[in-house]
Structure 1
Amino acid sequence: MAHCNQLSPTSPSDVNLGASANPHAMPTDFDFLSVIGKGTFGKVLLAKLKSDGNFYAVKVLQKNVILKKKEQKNIMAERNVLLKSLKHPFLVNLHYSFQTPEKLYFVLDYVNGGELFYHLQRERCFSEPRARFYAAELASAIGYLHSLNIVYRDLKPENILLDAQGHIVLTDFGLCKEGLEPEATTTTFCGTPEYLAPEMLRKEPYDRTIDWWCLGAVLYEMLYSLPPFYSRDVAEMYDGILYKPLPLPPGKSNAVCHLLQGLLQKDQHSRMGATNDFVEIKNHVFFSPINWDDLYNKRITPPYKPAVKGPADIQNIDQEFTREPVPGSVGRTPDLTSSFATSSSNAFFGFSYAAGDDSFL
């Protein structure tokens, strides 16, 4: 992952926001409308910026939970990755970040076409052309992150959103979903069992080919409706991931079967992408119908357009989230004098950012 900034001590009032037209962002700038996601450290909320009426997804993280789990490095890394990923069409855009004594806030694009997971659950599986389109946009995003020496590590359908037009938006750079292993470490940090690569399971050092395994797992799920080696018995599933040949039920093209076997190669050194990264994936015969320049510039019409009624529509968001009441504390600017406020501000020095601040480059 990206290196985090040095966490240098400072007073709570001396937070480095960089050059910005909006250096004093506060929770009270927003009307928080509904919960649209949850993670280990906090929630993601749909919010309306009062000054211009635009809608954003605001990720609100609890500093005390992050500090207790010793995760501040990962959160700073997430912020740094978001800053660097501003320049790619299939990665979520960070507008700015700010902090209060108790919380960290990421102000992100609100992407309202729903999780790929949500659409996959409803339709069970996708046609090859549709799966190819999503896999190509994902590969493009991963290839871009790799070009910045960033390994994504946690590719799964829940982290892949569709925008209102039907394009992929990759989100969640380092915030694990609720319900993951509490003892997540750097080797198991992206621990969703179904998508773990063999080297991650063996707790061996891993490289960026881990992302190509995960792309293979997501492509497999899009075509066959379950991840490869899936079993309700986790031990049996791990056994499959580590030792069993890849099951490829009939009915799919030779091209996609060949690609899946290349991406889901158990030996990371022989895996597709091990030698020449994204270039190998791009040149595979399965992707021959794709013009990559057109893809990058969103000149290819997406195979499916989500039903979206407007910029604040939440119908494609799982009701598990939207039914939750918006916590009253997210929109308040709390007391600045507590000792926790001072120490936690020191721990996250440099977190705040505003678009146009290039000091991180």
Structure 2
Amino acid sequence: MAHYMQSPTASQSDVNLGASANPHAKPTDFDFLAVIGKGTFGKVLLAKLKADGKFYAVKVLQKKVILKKKEQKNIMAERNVLLKSLKHPFLVGLHYSFQTSEKLYFVLDYVNGGELFFHLQRERCFSEPRARFYIAEVASAIGYLHSLNIVYRDLKPENILLDAQGHVVLTDFGLCKEGLEPEATTTTFCGTPEYLAPEVLRKEPYDRTVDWWCLGAVLYEMLFSLPPFYRRDVAEMYDAILHKPLQIPPGKSDAVCHLLHGLLQKDQHCRLGAIADFLEIKNHIFFNHINWDDLYHKRLTPPYNPNVRGPADLQNIDPEFTREMVPNSVGRTPELSASLATSSSNAFSGFSYVSSENSFL
């Protein structure tokens, strides 16, 4: 579906990104094996660390594209959120990050059960119990981000991965908003068209409940194969999001219908989650049979096993990505020229990071 939109602000180009560096990691530490994802600023690649043979997903971003679009603030926000997300089971983990004169590298957990979007495309829709399991794990991850005053803002099936056992892993934190207190609002117009909350479309101040709207939209899509107000024409779709009542096809339980109406409430102040955030979602009747402690500790058996055959298994990765050739340039360590040093390196100072557990660096 459509790529996200972002209205850049004038201040993004002169953000002071701080100063810290990890001079040790470099692209030539890895064998880059396949393209496994794509974004606005670069690609995600399956990579094997030469030193120990471990597999990682490496997100490679082009500095010149980020600078041209004035997106360095969002890239640094993504890195900051990744640093905070290591302690939650359903958020992708960052091992370390580094940069060359031309590119930024995020070294992430390799998650090869496939995008939820890939499985939805293949199966059209999921059963209620299967959808409940995924939505509960996603809600747990979103609730954790909210507890850190982070609003996710871009929840969609493409950003929800399955791990090798079939558990959810939320990824891509490029549109996250940090430092948003429970009662606070923000106004940046961003997200993916099919999942935009009405208050975002109206360009009104919005709060963390935009994530619960998106959760409702993703649940609806899992059950009925399209987002709730989807239209081929974007103007018609926006009109539907703003003005049309939610239509739920027959055949679903009262509990899921009630949840969908609560999450897809057009008035953000009346939306499920507006008062007590994740606690309201947890306590909804739709999740009555979920033991949230067991869910968090992955003691619940996933409803679907991706049947991953090993760390290099790409069967659940969309062939649209894996058919692409791996660019030779991602594995090179270019010499730093004076012109590039002034235009790029200062803009991304503070990007490099290494986890304390990565002693091989």
Distance in 2, matches of 1:68 and 1:175, equals 17
Q: Which residue of 2 aligns with 1:7?
A: 17
The answer to whether the Cα contact below 8 Å between 2:111 and 2:161 also exists between their aligned partners in 1 is yes
Residue identity matched to 1:150: I
Alignment of 1:274-313 (within 5 A): 274-313=274-313
- Could you tell me the TM-score, scaled by structure 2's length? 0.90
The answer to whether the Cα contact below 8 Å between 1:117 and 1:158 also exists between their aligned partners in 2 is yes
Q: Which residue of 2 aligns with 1:201?
A: 201
**Does the residue aligned with 2:140 lie in a helix, a strand or coil?**
helix
Is residue 333 of structure 1 aligned with residue 333 of structure 2? yes
Is residue 187 of structure 1 aligned with residue 192 of structure 2? no
Is residue 118 of structure 1 aligned with residue 123 of structure 2? no
Distance in 1, matches of 2:271 and 2:308, equals 38
Q: Which residue of 2 aligns with 1:25?
A: 25
Deviation at 1:77, TM superposition (A): 0.3
Structure 1 stretches of at least 4 aligned residues deviating more than 3 Å after TM superposition: none
The answer to whether the Cα contact below 8 Å between 1:40 and 1:175 also exists between their aligned partners in 2 is no
Deviation at 1:7, TM superposition (A): 2.1
Question: Pairwise CA RMSD of aligned residues?
Answer: 1.7
Deviations 1:200-239 (A, max 9, x none): 1111111100000000000000111111011112222111
Q: Which residue of 1 aligns with 2:47?
A: 47
Deviation at 1:150, TM superposition (A): 0.3
Deviation at 1:175, TM superposition (A): 6.5
Q: Which residue of 2 aligns with 1:239?
A: 239
Deviations 1:126-145 (A, max 9, x none): 11100000000000000000
**Does the residue aligned with 1:46 lie in a helix, a strand or coil?**
strand
The answer to whether the Cα contact below 8 Å between 2:166 and 2:305 also exists between their aligned partners in 1 is yes
Q: Which residue of 2 aligns with 1:16?
A: 21
Deviations 1:87-137 (A, max 9, x none): 000000000000111110000011000000010111111111000000000
Q: Which residue of 2 aligns with 1:182?
A: none
Alignment of 1:319-358 (within 5 A): 319-356=319-356
Sequence identity (%): 83
**Does the residue aligned with 2:95 lie in a helix, a strand or coil?**
strand
Distance in 1, matches of 2:129 and 2:312, equals 30
- Could you tell me the TM-score, scaled by structure 1's length? 0.90
Residue identity matched to 1:59: K
How many pairs are equivalent? 335
Distance in 2, matches of 1:326 and 1:342, equals 28
Q: Which residue of 2 aligns with 1:20?
A: none
Is residue 63 of structure 1 aligned with residue 63 of structure 2? yes
**Does the residue aligned with 1:65 lie in a helix, a strand or coil?**
helix
Distance in 1, matches of 2:188 and 2:207, equals 11
The answer to whether the Cα contact below 8 Å between 2:132 and 2:287 also exists between their aligned partners in 1 is yes
Is residue 138 of structure 1 aligned with residue 138 of structure 2? yes
The answer to whether the Cα contact below 8 Å between 2:187 and 2:203 also exists between their aligned partners in 1 is no
Distance in 1, matches of 2:223 and 2:319, equals 25
The answer to whether the Cα contact below 8 Å between 2:199 and 2:205 also exists between their aligned partners in 1 is yes
The answer to whether the Cα contact below 8 Å between 2:49 and 2:55 also exists between their aligned partners in 1 is yes
Choose between structure 1 and 2 for higher RCO, CA contacts under 8 A separated by at least 6 residues: 1
Residue identity matched to 1:306: P
Deviations 1:293-338 (A, max 9, x none): 0000000000000021111111111111111110010000001133
Distance in 2, matches of 1:98 and 1:216, equals 36
Q: Which residue of 1 aligns with 2:222?
A: 222
Distance in 2, matches of 1:247 and 1:317, equals 32
Residue identity matched to 1:295: L
Residue identity matched to 1:337: S
**Does the residue aligned with 1:155 lie in a helix, a strand or coil?**
coil
The answer to whether the Cα contact below 8 Å between 1:35 and 1:322 also exists between their aligned partners in 2 is yes
The answer to whether the Cα contact below 8 Å between 1:49 and 1:56 also exists between their aligned partners in 2 is yes
The answer to whether the Cα contact below 8 Å between 2:43 and 2:61 also exists between their aligned partners in 1 is yes
Distance in 1, matches of 2:330 and 2:160, equals 25
Q: Any gaps of 5 or more consecutive residues in structure 1?
A: 18-22, 177-184
**Does the residue aligned with 1:269 lie in a helix, a strand or coil?**
helix
Distance in 1, matches of 2:70 and 2:187, equals 12
